[in-house]
Amino acid sequence: MEEIKHGPIGVFDSGYGGISVLANLIESMPGESFVFLSDSKNAPYGELEPEEVLNHTVTNVEILNSQAVNAVVIACNTATSAAVQTLRSKYLFPIIGMEPAVKPAVNKTGSGRVLVAATDLTLKEKKFASLIESIDHQNEIITLPCIGLVDKIEEHGPESPEVDQKIDELLEPYMSLNFDGVVLGCTHYVLVKDKWRSKFPSDTVFYDGNEGTVRQTIRMLKYYKQVISNCPPARVCIMDSSQNDDRLAQCKKLLMNQLEVNRKISMDQLHIELRKTDELCKF
Ligand code: DGL
φ, ψ dihedrals at 156, nearest 5°: -105, -10
Is 146 a residue of the active site? no
| Ligand 1 center from residue 231 Cα (angstroms) | 31
Q: Is 237 a catalytic residue?
A: no
Question: From CA 244, how far away is CA 249, in angstroms rounded?
Answer: 9
Spell out the per-residue pLDDT of the chain, length 283, in tens: 556 778 999 999 999 999 999 999 999 999 999 999 999 999 999 999 999 999 999 999 999 999 999 999 999 999 999 999 999 999 999 999 999 999 999 999 888 999 999 999 999 999 999 999 999 889 999 999 999 999 999 999 999 999 999 999 999 999 999 999 999 999 999 999 999 999 999 999 999 999 999 999 999 999 999 999 999 999 999 999 999 999 999 999 999 999 999 999 998 889 999 999 999 999 8
Domains of the chain (ranges, CATH numbers): 9-98+211-274 (3.40.50.1860), 102-208 (3.40.50.1860)
Q: Cα separation of 75 and 57, whole Å?
A: 11
Check if 77 has its Cβ closer than 6 Å to any atom of ligand 1. Answer: yes
- Residue whose Cα lies nearest atom 2 of ligand 1: it is 76
Residue 81 CB less than 6 A away from ligand 1: no
pTM comes to 0.96
Beta bridge partners, 120, equal none
Cβ of residue 42 lying under 6 Å from some atom of ligand 1: no
